[in-house]
Amino acid sequence: MEKLEQVYEGKAKKVYRTEDPELVIVSYKDDATAFNGAKRGTIVGKGVVNNQMTNRLMARLEKAGIPTHFVQELSDRDTLVKRVDIVPLEVIIRNLSAGHFASRYGVEEGIVFDAPTIEFSYKCDELDDPLLNAYHALALKLATQEEIDTIKRLSFAVNDVLKAFWAECGVTLVDFKLEFGRLRDGTIVLADEISPDTCRLWDAKTHEKLDKDRFRRDMGGVEDAYAEAMKRLLAHSEG
């Protein structure tokens, strides 16, 4: 399948049309942003890691019965996926306190929760992705009640699969962000990416950060952290 014209460019990926109207090609860039684009940079090799990591994790989720947009990896940076209309909700699942949870509620990072939490943001750069609840999402007609119920159920199921898998790799899955899309027939599937850009991944023993917080917080060692996360994943994958 060939790339035809570009239909979209986001902060970390480009999307191309293909000859099949129901399939598009996503191409992962090395561009990195944080704080809604206020901080910009390049993480060399990030696009390759994020493409390959997303695809392996999505394939694993599919096996566990979670529908995703993934079709086929085409190259280091390019992947064929089903065309979806993205539901404008960012879904965040947390297993431990970190990031905005810690700052918003005034607690330290690293508190292990008894049960995972879920929160939604309205995916809207102009408004800085404001936090909202399911009632707000319904009022804004961002999704139906049935879609929200499906998204919640799938998000916790994703957490069960990924948390267990990363644990096998010696990595604690602290939190992550998911996006969902609607296929032409309305089916909700997992879309976007699952990578060190969108997850907090800590070494299970040392708590060393293997994710984009190294870029957000100017900690250095960003490329090495992405490479290490990928290495751990590959060491525990069949293929």
Enumerate binding residues for ligand TMP (CB under 6 A): 92, 98-101, 129, 175-177, 198-200
- Which of residues 2, 5, 19, 35 is near ligand ASP by CB under 6 A? 35
Q: Does 102 bind ligand ASP (CB under 6 A)?
A: no
Residue showing the smallest CB distance to ligand ASP in the complex: 33
Q: Which residues contact 15 (CB under 8 A, 6 or more apart)?
A: 6, 7, 8, 9, 24, 25, 26, 27
Residues of this chain, 153-212, that bind ligand ASP according to CB under 6 A: 212
Of 35 and 105, which has the nearer Cβ to ligand ASP? Answer: 35
Task: Report in angstroms how near the CB of residue 124 gets to ligand ASP at its nearest.
Answer: 12
Task: Report in angstroms how near the CB of residue 92 gets to ligand TMP at its nearest.
Answer: 5
How many helices (H) and strands (E) would you count in the chain? Answer: 6, 14
Q: Does 36 bind ligand ASP (CB under 6 A)?
A: yes
The listed partner (ligand ASP, ligand TMP, none) that binds 43, CB under 5 to 8 Å by sort, is none
CA angle 216, 133, 214 (to 5 degrees): 10
Q: Does 34 bind ligand ASP (CB under 6 A)?
A: yes
Q: For residues 42 and 58, is the Cβ–Cβ distance under 8 A?
A: no
Q: Does 21 bind ligand ASP (CB under 6 A)?
A: no
Tokens of 104: 């918003």
Task: Report in angstroms how near the CB of residue 99 gets to ligand ASP at its nearest.
Answer: 9
Tokens of 7: 């239909």
The listed partner (ligand TMP, ligand ASP, none) that binds 226, CB under 5 to 8 Å by sort, is none
Residue showing the smallest CB distance to ligand TMP in the complex: 99
Q: In the chain, at which residue ranges do the beta strands (DSSP E only) sit?
A: 6-9, 13-17, 23-28, 31-34, 39-42, 70-73, 78-82, 85-86, 89-96, 112-122, 131-132, 171-182, 188-191, 199-203
